[in-house]
Amino acid sequence: MTNIKLSVSAKIPDSKAGIVYVLGVSGRPENLTLLPHRVDTKSLEELDLNALGASSKFESLVRVPGQNGAVFALIGAGHEELDEDSLRELGAAAARKLDGFKEIFFDLPSEDDRDAVCTLEGALLGGYKYGSKDKGKKSKLASITVLSDHSVSKSTVERSRILASSVNQVRELVNTPPNVLYPQSFAKIVADETKDMDVSVTILDEKALRAGNFGGILAVGQGSARPPRMVKIEYSPKKALKHLALVGKGITFDTGGISIKPAASMVGMKYDMTGAATVYQAILAIAALKLPVRVTSYLCLAENMPSGSATRPNDVIKIRNGKTVEVLNTDAEGRLVLADGLSAASELNPDLIIDVATLTGAARVALGERYSAVMGTADAVSAVEAAAFDSGELVWHMPLPAEMRARLDTDVADIANAKIGSTAGGMLLAGVFLKEFVGSSKSGARTQPWAHLDIAGTANNEGAPYGYTPKGATGVVLRTLVSVAEGMSR
């Protein structure tokens, strides 16, 4: 977790070298004004801000010398009122652009204590760079302070630190090259990192997976020289009110298997373990926050490779819950590993199951790269939507049309994993497939509250950084999951 000192304070610091004050700029070019602030800006009064290159364009930033070696960073605050998410974005843009300072002071308007911590959270999220844990790339930044009259409790500040650190750790795992991060090494990272934490970890190797009838994970992993793993992580606080189960797709590299992907579509498939990284870091964040909610996370880890031992199209496999699947497309592998994970989670009869997966290219086609899709039972979808809204994350409710189930009919098994020759509603069809593995038994007892998050469009940002989203792995929906858990602990 980051060691940067974080605070919200009303105390104006003494100006000195190494510190920067971030001030908001609004207005038209000929009439730029500084947003209400508290530090002394007399030295700026005589200056033509427009001539200095300052602008109200959201996130634009210029530096102007202040007193005693301190620096003013004038950041464009746009033309609308600063809400929680725009404060996160300004915090992030400033942190990204103000490399090299020891102390950053945000002097932006904040209406309440939540505004103040959003700026902190944004700064931590925006300051992320891949590999920053390496010593050589160490940043000089020692403290971030938000100047505000609103008093913010220590635990609220710590919550921001925990959330941002967890998102950044998801990013770090996902950005790791696939020759370094594979099922066994991922499982070892989990075992090592959680040694002193308030969670227990069970790692199922191939033998245990066979004994436990995890036929989906085994079938996907059997083409790889690197065997699959299922990692189960449990957080069981004494005063738990509810039980949340999280299931993550953890394909450490997706070649497509025998239904191999074309070269251009294969690049980037190291991101296919984002769901597992997300449910891993989410449970650690929930445990660090000591929320009174029981959580069980399942990381379904496999490498999808083509080889002489790989699963073939037309193979019939058996999932943990006893249902058989005819594999028609080995590239639709995520739903096979999730089927095992959802079956196992259902056995615990939790109050809510959420799965997270970079499941379908169709998600990106339908919703683009900023909205994650959510499907599932009405109550679970509402809980996710509310939590996402609260976190400033974008999700969009998509349907699970019952009539689509017939497209997965096959003569040789209970269900097929894909519809060959049709891409219609690909994201929805994947959700319809998953639904078959939610609920405890083959006969299907009660309706288990369940939400499926398809983050194939949002997990990776191929373009330039924006807001608090860096290039590469985004760490999307982690904050939403933690917010769901917070909702369940009230």
Spatial neighbors of 468 by CB under 8 A, at least 6 apart, are 88, 89, 91, 92, 121, 122, 125, 126
Residue 143 touches which of ligand BES, Zn ion, none (Cβ within 5-8 Å per kind):
none
Burial 74-85 (b: 16+ CB within 10 A, else e): bbbbbeeebebb
Q: Shortest distance, CB of residue 269 to ligand BES, whole angstroms? A: 6
Residues from 231 through 260 that contact Zn ion (CB under 5 A): 251, 254
Question: 159 forms bridges with which residues in the sheet?
Answer: none
Residues from 434 through 473 that contact ligand BES (CB under 6 A): 456
Residue 369 touches which of ligand BES, Zn ion, none (Cβ within 5-8 Å per kind):
none
Active site residue 270: no
Residue 403 to residue 134: CA distance in whole angstroms: 52
Residue 362 touches which of Zn ion, ligand BES, none (Cβ within 5-8 Å per kind):
ligand BES
Residue 334 to residue 206: CA distance in whole angstroms: 18
Residue 16 to residue 336: CA distance in whole angstroms: 58
**Total residues interacting with ligand BES, rule: CB under 6 A:** 14
Among 334, 350, 376, 470, interactor with ligand BES by CB under 6 A: 334
DSSP label of 469: B
Q: Please give the single-letter amino acid code of residue 450.
A: W
Q: Shortest distance, CB of residue 226 to ligand BES, whole angstroms? A: 17
Q: Applying CB under 6 A, which part among 123-131, 200-208, 332-340, 343-351 lies near ligand BES?
A: 332-340
Locate tokens 């940002």: which residue?
Answer: 461
Check residue 254 for interaction with ligand BES (CB under 6 A). Answer: yes
Check residue 332 for interaction with ligand BES (CB under 6 A). Answer: yes
| Strand, coil or helix: 478 | helix
List 38, 57, 63, 261, catalytic entry: 261
Specify the residue, 61 or 327, whose C-beta has the smaller distance to Zn ion.
327
Among 361, 390, 397, 465, interactor with ligand BES by CB under 6 A: 361
Residue 116 to residue 145: CA distance in whole angstroms: 9
Among 113, 121, 272, 326, interactor with ligand BES by CB under 6 A: 272
Locate tokens 């070696």: which residue?
Answer: 69
Q: Shortest distance, CB of residue 131 to Zn ion, whole angstroms? A: 25
| Strand, coil or helix: 244 | strand
Specify the residue, 199 or 251, whose C-beta has the smaller distance to Zn ion.
251
Check residue 70 for interaction with ligand BES (CB under 6 A). Answer: no
Q: Shortest distance, CB of residue 228 to ligand BES, whole angstroms? A: 15
Residue 52 to residue 64: CA distance in whole angstroms: 8
Active site residue 335: yes
Q: By CB neighbour count within 10 A (0-12 exposed, 13-18 middle, 19+ buried), where does 92 fall?
A: buried
Check residue 331 for interaction with Zn ion (CB under 5 A). Answer: yes
Nearest position to ligand BES, beta carbon = 361
Specify the residue, 84 or 254, whose C-beta has the smaller distance to ligand BES.
254
Burial 18-47 (b: 16+ CB within 10 A, else e): ebbbbbbbbbeeeebebbebebebeebeee
Structure tokens at 79: 């033309």
Interface with Zn ion (CB under 5 A): 251, 254, 272, 331, 333-334
Interface with ligand BES (CB under 6 A): 254, 272, 329, 331-334, 358, 360-362, 418, 426, 456
Q: Indicate which residues carry an active-site annotation.
A: 261, 335
